[in-house]
Amino acid sequence: MTWIQKEITLRARSRGFHLVTREVLEQLPELREFSVGMLNIFIQHTSASIGINENADPDVRIDLEMGFNKIVREDFPYVHTIEGPDDMPAHIKAAMIGNSLSIPITDGQLNLGTWQGIYLCEHRNRASGRRLVLTMHGE
């Protein structure tokens, strides 16, 4: 076995920064069969993003949401407003944080730092479950 690829849908979440490490890992029992490799997480959307951040204090997630809202303001003079005031800021935040995340695999596990967790960053006020393509490759 060298390549494993699957498409999953995360459960719908409200706008904000959400730890999804456990929900992603539950879909990857094959991880333990790789001694070395890479996992790529690709989110098939342009108004939500995938990142890594602190996995401990829930206040960090509140501040990430607040901070990105301060930086990417809803009152910028957007032209594309037909999908609501949260839509264009969502596209800008997604461009900043990114759609594709590669994490090393070591001895059957993701080689994350102690304080790292995988985040779904949901930038829309209302959204349905977000689709991810998970691609593992290794030996």
Nearer to its own copies, 24 or 101 (CB): 101
Chain contacts with its own copies (rule: CB under 8 A): 2-3, 5, 7, 36-38, 40, 42-46, 51-54, 57, 59-60, 62-64, 66-68, 70-73, 76-80, 88-89, 91-92, 94-104, 106, 111-116, 119, 121, 131, 133, 135, 137-139
Shortest spacing between CB 55 and its own copies, in angstroms: 8
Q: Which is nearer to its own copies, 11 or 76 (CB)?
A: 76
Cα-based distances in Å from 85 to 45, 73, 95, 97, 124: 18, 9, 17, 19, 9
Nearer to its own copies, 11 or 96 (CB): 96
